[in-house]
A and B are shown apart, each in its own frame.
Chain A
Amino acid sequence: MKLSESLARLRYGLFPDHLVGEVLSKRWTDNAIPLVFLLATVIGVGTAIPDFFSLASLADASRQLGEFAIVVMGLTIVMLGGGIDLSVGATFALSAFASVAVIYIMGGPIWLALLAALATGAVVGAANGVLIGYLRLRAFLTTLVTFTILHAIYSILVVNFSAQVQLADVQTPIWDFIGDGGVAGFPISLIVAVLVAILAHVFISRSRLGWHVLAVGGSRRSAFNAGISVRRTVFMTYMISGLCSGLAGFLIGARLSGVGPGTGAGLEILALTAGVVGGNSLGGGRGSIAKGLMGAVIVLILTNGLIRLGFTSGTNQMVLGVVLALAVFLDVRWLKNRSKVLAKVYVAPVYSALPSTPSAEPDSGSPFALNDRLAETEFIGLGEIEGPEDVILDEDDNLYCGTRNGEVVRFLAPDYKQWEVFAHTGGFPLGLAFDRAGALTVCVGAMGLYSVARDRTVTRLSAETNRTPFSILDDARLRDPNDCDIAPDGRIFFTDSTTRYDAHDWALDSVESRPTGRLLVYDPRNGRTRTVLRGMSYLNGVCMAHDGQSLFLAESWACRVHRYWFDGPKAGRLDCVIAAMPGYPDNINRASDGGYWMAWLGMRTPSYDLALRKPGMRKRMTRRLPQDDWLFPNINTGGVVKFDENGAITEVLGNLGGHSHPMVTSMREHKGALYVGGILNNRIGRYRLEGADPSWTGMRSYWGEGR
């Protein structure tokens, strides 16, 4: 190996480039900007005002924070649902007036004051909700107008009643305690805010209604088409915001023991800035209660800091304007460019040197030499199906395959002219296997392991395995379940080809060539799924050996075949039976003569083999070229090979012109014929095998003569 290659291998093997893309693909990275902003604010204000974070100062600020945070959380929920509520300040003031009026003018009890404040908030929220949710008015303008209406009402009320409030001589210790007191040093308003925060967080992140809010905010149209009541959901968000403002109004009423003309003035701008600065996306769908809280803390520290620094009036607005503009700007840019950056940096190639191999050239005399025998296949379902990745036959000779439309299709014996949709699984059904009871086990790409019973009921067997500690990507999820086979005891062994790419991006995994494929086992006795082997390069086909104790495993991008013993005396042993091949292996299935059929989904090329040894070149390619211009492995010429127990090649079937079966991903022998499927093909091929046992079927081979 040349020195430069060794260096490249070290560089791309040791340095975890892939983590950049994985971290960026995480939603929690949205928190990075607001968090940095928060730290900058804390450090900046903390150094400018030495005693800003002293205890006395904090106690006062936290009381303010409580009320403010409650308002911001209400607004955050509205923003998550794709709306905006500018009436929060006026609602806040009006609710404060309502509670103050109950205490000082009516002489009513505390609970009535609280109820009055909440009711005020609820009425305003309901009005906003009806206008924006049901009448579908524009949120910004509508709440701006409700704000002016409420503000006008509030001003009228304050002018008429404030003297009465000031002159009232009412002593209510509980009221004063809510305003000034606290529990263990924490002011009541802060405690209430924490409770509201927990409630709101659980609501948004753990409840069905909360998810509806996020769905509506994320994509109104999709939410509507998915059957979510968009109007009711939007209505609800404004209702919640109104209630939050009402609660906060009650708290400020208690704190100030009265209301003035300035109560709640400018609160909407502050709250809006807090919501956006915290990282909640305008237009909805992205954000959280935590972000709202972060924004509330930032804005409060900033404004209080500016006041403490003794700036003249107006400075606050100036800074707030800049912060608001900056936050919206970052939000818009982040949203627009994150996916672009992610698409650019996600592919992180590693060094991969494929061992040299005998040639596959026709008439080269090597055991791999291709021929044109597959050109003689007859077609089944030509042009009627799309993407039969795997094919299988039952004991009545009916032929099954998956399609990219998410269906399992059945061609009826004996002539396979007629077909029907056997079951709809969704996703992309790939590998197939029959269990002892005759139920069809299906690996559904992008979804998991499913079972279709004889009566066509679809059951999910497994969609997750144990998660690796400290993995950034959630590798408990099955991303690309590819092929499965069933042990005599009923355990289902199946492969999950990559943890880095979704099923439809399977070819990208080759450009990266990072071995992340896994062998998993699903145990029907306890319903658990466990990872058996990991770190394989696109682990694809899996086939139960004739001994019932071991499996043949195909690593597509490494062009290798392994044998793994899961049972018997050699249990746990992993042998490489074919170390190098000129083709990329796919599914493996039993042959009637005691050997195994293996599909080649494509053939290695010298140029791509070289590219695999140049990770830097592939990295530059993925960064600088559009995907259409990337160098991909050749998946336009494939074939079928047969090997024996020891991995020696005994037969090769190819299609040189590529007219019948340019790529092959699967094949099944059944009663003297080989049925050939391909993930990019629009047909299934049937090839008559000379001299094969005309009564041999897979069902009998697996489950005995009775079938």
Chain B
Amino acid sequence: MTGWFLLLGRRRQEDTVFLLTILLFLTFSFVLHGFLTTGNIIALLRSVALLGILAVGMGIVVIGRGIDLSLVAILAISVAVFLNLLGQSYPIGIALLLALVGVIAVGALNGVLTAYAEMPAIFATLATGTFVYGLGRSQFLTQDVIYLPPGHDLFTAFGNARLASIPVEVVVFAFILVGAFLWLRFSKYGRYIYLIGDNLNAARNAGLPVRPVIVLQYVVSALLAFVAGLIMAAGIHSMNTRIVNSSLLYDVILVVVIGGIGLSGGKGGVRNLIVGTLLIGILLNGMTILDISDLYQNLIKATVLLAALIVDGVLNPRDEQTDQQGDI
């Protein structure tokens, strides 16, 4: 009985979640009027794409036994600063370059703090997230919402582009998924991330460049946050820095945990991210169609996340004897 249960829990979590996703999809299709329409499906995919791109970034870090709580702050501030630079009539190339440099610097800072200063990832990224928001908001930006200045048709056109009627963000998301899959599965550094996440000391003893790889994973996640932010801004022509206080970060963690990427690292992959993203996307879309207010949506999402954590905790219990000290 236990063996079967473990099989279900450890090997097949993404299958279970996938099954759940299909069930939810079918239920919503039958029950909810206007769920199974082309327009809604496209809207669903669009909203999911953004969450999914962030989840890929978070997923890579979590596989490497880290966590990136600065993701949304990077997204908001980098793009807001980028838009602000455009507003000060910088050419788009220069603005993009400057923003990119900033994003890479923050990602590297996260990596250096966790890998070299050996701070716990949650605190390091919590601190940088708070710092980045505070720095951007107080030093670079004068208001909460930064609008795209007129005259950047290329940028807006990008936001409205369609590839065979598929919105551009979905295409980008698909590209990122394929890229992440190939990178994690076949590249040297992708494999290193798994090894480091599985057992950092063993990886170090085996001669892996543990610290640079950890820095790399945070840089990658910061870059993905920037990409997600750009897509968001291209769609709505602005960036509201108050998104930092929203539940977006929890949604991203939710996707990763629900998808079955263990928080203890070394496990999971792109498949988990896809099923996690789909499940949460369908759930959010369904709740929106049901006209559940944001407040209650947050409550429901958080409760689902808690349930997911409890199930994860029951299926993969932590042992008093093997618990890592300070692993909170």
Query: With a CB–CB cut-off of 8 A, which chain B residues contact A311?
Result: 138
Which one of A138, A145, A159, A318 lies within 8 Å of B131 (CB-CB)? A318
Nearest neighbor of A142 in chain B, beta-carbon distance = B309
A332, B298: Cβ atoms closer than 8 Å: no
A317, B130: Cβ atoms closer than 8 Å: yes
Q: What's the dominant secondary structure at chain A's contact region?
A: helix
| B275-323 residues at the A interface, CB under 8 angstroms | 295-296, 298-299, 301-303, 305-306, 309-310, 312-314, 317-318, 320-321, 323
B118, A336: Cβ atoms closer than 8 Å: yes
B137, A314: Cβ atoms closer than 8 Å: yes
A148, B302: Cβ atoms closer than 8 Å: yes
B123, A328: Cβ atoms closer than 8 Å: yes
Chain A's interface size range is 35 or more
Give B296 Cβ to nearest chain A Cβ, in Å.
7
Known: A156-B295, A332-B119. A148 touches B250 (CB 8 A): yes
Which one of B127, B320, B321 lies within 8 Å of A324 (CB-CB)? B127
Nearest neighbor of B137 in chain A, beta-carbon distance = A314
B326 within 8 A of A: yes
Which one of B132, B302, B327 lies within 8 Å of A145 (CB-CB)? B302
A321, B127: Cβ atoms closer than 8 Å: yes
A139 within 8 A of B: yes
Query: With a CB–CB cut-off of 8 A, which chain A residues contact B117?
Result: 329, 332-333
Known: A221-B321, A283-B325, A314-B137. A152 touches B131 (CB 8 A): no
B120 within 8 A of A: yes
Give the CA-CA distance A269 to B250 in the complex, in Å: 16
Known: A321-B127, A332-B117. A135 touches B310 (CB 8 A): yes
Give the CA-CA distance A149 to B254 in the complex, in Å: 13
A382 within 8 A of B: no
Give A314 Cβ to nearest chain B Cβ, in Å.
3
Give B264 Cβ to nearest chain A Cβ, in Å.
9
Query: With a CB–CB cut-off of 8 A, which chain B residues contact A332?
Result: 117-120
Give A223 Cβ to nearest chain B Cβ, in Å.
9
Give A674 Cβ to nearest chain B Cβ, in Å.
49
A159, B295: Cβ atoms closer than 8 Å: yes
A96 within 8 A of B: no
A141, B326: Cβ atoms closer than 8 Å: no
What total of chain B residues lie within 8 Å of the partner, measured CB to CB? 51
A320, B130: Cβ atoms closer than 8 Å: yes
| B256-270 residues at the A interface, CB under 8 angstroms | 257, 263
B328, A82: Cβ atoms closer than 8 Å: yes
A257 within 8 A of B: no
B7 within 8 A of A: no
Which one of A149, A276, A314, A322 lies within 8 Å of B299 (CB-CB)? A149
B295, A321: Cβ atoms closer than 8 Å: no
B192 within 8 A of A: no
Nearest neighbor of A139 in chain B, beta-carbon distance = B328
Give A358 Cβ to nearest chain B Cβ, in Å.
55
A321, B132: Cβ atoms closer than 8 Å: yes
A284 within 8 A of B: yes
Give the CA-CA distance A316 to B139 in the complex, in Å: 12
Query: With a CB–CB cut-off of 8 A, which chain A residues contact B312?
Result: 137
Give the CA-CA distance A220 to B314 in the complex, in Å: 19
Give the CA-CA distance A78 to B307 in the complex, in Å: 23
Give B121 Cβ to nearest chain A Cβ, in Å.
10
Give the CA-CA distance A128 to B287 in the complex, in Å: 27
Give the CA-CA distance A142 to B131 in the complex, in Å: 23
Give A526 Cβ to nearest chain B Cβ, in Å.
45
Nearest neighbor of B130 in chain A, beta-carbon distance = A321
Query: With a CB–CB cut-off of 8 A, which chain B residues contact A328?
Result: 119-120, 123-124, 127
Give the CA-CA distance A311 to B240 in the complex, in Å: 21
Give A133 Cβ to nearest chain B Cβ, in Å.
12
Known: A159-B295, A282-B120, A312-B138. A137 touches B130 (CB 8 A): no
Give the CA-CA distance A153 to B67 in the complex, in Å: 26
A230 within 8 A of B: yes
* Interface 0/1 of A207-242, CB less than 8 Å to B: 000000000000111001000001000000000000
Give A523 Cβ to nearest chain B Cβ, in Å.
45
B87 within 8 A of A: no
B128 within 8 A of A: yes
Give the CA-CA distance A260 to B131 in the complex, in Å: 26
Query: With a CB–CB cut-off of 8 A, which chain B residues contact A459?
Result: none
Give B180 Cβ to nearest chain A Cβ, in Å.
23
B36 within 8 A of A: no
Query: With a CB–CB cut-off of 8 A, which chain B residues contact A139?
Result: 328
Give B209 Cβ to nearest chain A Cβ, in Å.
21
| B111-152 residues at the A interface, CB under 8 angstroms | 113, 117-120, 122-124, 126-139, 141
A605 within 8 A of B: no
A156, B299: Cβ atoms closer than 8 Å: yes
A465 within 8 A of B: no
B253 within 8 A of A: yes
B134, A321: Cβ atoms closer than 8 Å: yes
Give A364 Cβ to nearest chain B Cβ, in Å.
54
A57 within 8 A of B: no
A416 within 8 A of B: no
A168 within 8 A of B: no
Give B177 Cβ to nearest chain A Cβ, in Å.
25
* Interface 0/1 of B47-78, CB less than 8 Å to A: 00000000000000000000000000000000
Query: With a CB–CB cut-off of 8 A, which chain B residues contact A152?
Result: 295-296, 298-299, 302
A135, B313: Cβ atoms closer than 8 Å: yes
A318, B325: Cβ atoms closer than 8 Å: no
Known: A152-B298, A320-B134, A324-B123. A131 touches B317 (CB 8 A): no
A146 within 8 A of B: yes
B305, A145: Cβ atoms closer than 8 Å: yes
Query: With a CB–CB cut-off of 8 A, which chain A residues contact B263?
Result: 138, 141
Nearest neighbor of B133 in chain A, beta-carbon distance = A317
Give the CA-CA distance A83 to B323 in the complex, in Å: 13
Nearest neighbor of B117 in chain A, beta-carbon distance = A329
Give the CA-CA distance A131 to B198 in the complex, in Å: 25
Known: A83-B328, A142-B309, A321-B128. A149 touches B303 (CB 8 A): yes
Give the CA-CA distance A485 to B136 in the complex, in Å: 75
Give B241 Cβ to nearest chain A Cβ, in Å.
9
B302, A149: Cβ atoms closer than 8 Å: yes
A156, B133: Cβ atoms closer than 8 Å: no
B40 within 8 A of A: no
B247 within 8 A of A: yes
Nearest neighbor of A231 in chain B, beta-carbon distance = B320
Nearest neighbor of B135 in chain A, beta-carbon distance = A318
Which one of A136, A144, A230, A284 lies within 8 Å of B317 (CB-CB)? A136
Query: With a CB–CB cut-off of 8 A, which chain B residues contact A316?
Result: 134
A224, B320: Cβ atoms closer than 8 Å: yes
Give the CA-CA distance A315 to B134 in the complex, in Å: 5
A269, B130: Cβ atoms closer than 8 Å: yes
* Interface 0/1 of A297-337, CB less than 8 Å to B: 00000000000000111111111111011001100110010
Query: With a CB–CB cut-off of 8 A, which chain B residues contact A329?
Result: 113, 117, 119
B325, A220: Cβ atoms closer than 8 Å: yes
Which one of B137, B247, B314 lies within 8 Å of A148 (CB-CB)? B247
28 contacts across the A-B interface (CB closer than 8 A): A131-B309, A135-B310, A135-B313, A136-B313, A138-B263, A138-B313, A139-B328, A142-B306, A152-B295, A156-B295, A269-B130, A276-B123, A283-B120, A284-B326, A314-B141, A315-B134, A317-B130, A318-B134, A318-B138, A319-B134, A321-B132, A322-B131, A324-B123, A325-B123, A325-B128, A325-B131, A332-B118, A332-B119
Known interface pairs A148-B247, A332-B117; 12 further A-B residue pairs with C-beta atoms within 8 A, sorted by A's residue number? A137-B312, A138-B327, A141-B263, A142-B306, A142-B309, A152-B296, A156-B296, A219-B325, A220-B320, A230-B320, A314-B138, A333-B117
Taking Cβ atoms with an 8 Å cutoff, the residues of A that contact B are: 82-84, 131, 135-142, 144-146, 148-149, 151-153, 155-156, 159, 219-221, 224, 230, 269, 276, 282-284, 311-322, 324-325, 328-329, 332-333, 336
Taking Cβ atoms with an 8 Å cutoff, the residues of B that contact A are: 113, 117-120, 122-124, 126-139, 141, 247, 250, 253, 257, 263, 295-296, 298-299, 301-303, 305-306, 309-310, 312-314, 317-318, 320-321, 323, 325-328
Q: 6 shortest A-B CB distances, which residue pairs?
A: A283-B326, A321-B131, A318-B134, A314-B137, A317-B134, A314-B138
